[in-house]
Chains A and B, each alone.
Chain A
Amino acid sequence: NAGVTQTPKFQVLKTGQSMTLQCAQDMNHNSMYWYRQDPGMGLRLIYYSASEGTTDKGEVPNGYNVSRLNKREFSLRLESAAPSQTSVYFCASSEGLGELFFGEGSRLTVL
């Protein structure tokens, strides 16, 4: 089993460009999450999806949109990237509230 797979692993964007981070899990989990991790700030929740067809905002949703495409896939879109969105992004999944399974991260730099 691959667990949680994120693509791309690295990306460099220019300010104003758009991009989508993809996440897929093969554990049949209902809940999926997007976090960003910055030095000194820890992991901060951007959006989560408690089940297929639902999404909710987390702590830092501004500048992002998400789509729960199906039970397996949860994508994060930056419509107009800003330097403040330079970060490492982690996707995670879980069966309800409980142990989170994380992907390996996507490292995004916005110039």
Chain B
Amino acid sequence: SQKIEQNSEALNIQEGKTATLTCNYTNYSPAYLQWYRQDPGRGPVFLLLIRENEKEKRKERLKVTFDTTLKQSLFHITASQPADSATYLCSPTGANNLFFGTGTRLTVIP
């Protein structure tokens, strides 16, 4: 069965550093991969989508990579700020595959 793993439940980093979150998946081949942010008590909010034929995508301080050979995506937040503290969810997605990882809770320490 399909499985999605996000590197750790919680990640603490110092303000200004780069946060790197990992998403690994097994037993399926998604057409693309999405990243979402979720704040406590709120619904997830879409951040970025990267397709299987794209290696890297950037949006402001965010960068996502997608390695279909390793079955892995890396999500980077550069120059992190306390306002980036949230839970980040990955979703390797394809037709009839609408799964999410359990998320990584990121805390940026001032």
Contacts and interface: CB of A to CB of B under 8 A. Distances in A.
Contacts of B45: 102
B94 interface: yes
A47 to B, nearest CB: 11
B49 A98 contact: yes
A41 B43 CA distance: 16
Contacts of A45: 98-99
A97 B43 contact: no
A1 to B, nearest CB: 15
B100 A58 contact: no
B102 interface: yes
B1 to A, nearest CB: 9
A99 B100 contact: no
A33 interface: yes
Contacts of B103: 42
B47 to A, nearest CB: 9
Contact of A41 (B31, B41, B102): B102
Interface in A30-49: 33, 35, 40-45, 48
Interface residues of A, number: 24
A4 B96 CA distance: 22
A33 B99 CA distance: 12
Interface in B49-100: 49, 89, 91, 93-96, 98-100
A99 B94 CA distance: 12
Nearest to B101: A42
Q: Give the one of B93, B101, B102 with max A CB within 10 A.
A: B102
A41 to B, nearest CB: 7
Contacts of A56: 96
Query: Which 9 residue pairs of A and B lie closest in terms of their CB atoms, listed nearest first?
Result: A102-B43, A42-B102, A43-B100, A99-B46, A102-B44, A45-B98, A42-B100, A104-B43, A90-B43
Interface of B: 4, 31-32, 34, 36, 41-46, 49, 89, 91, 93-96, 98-103
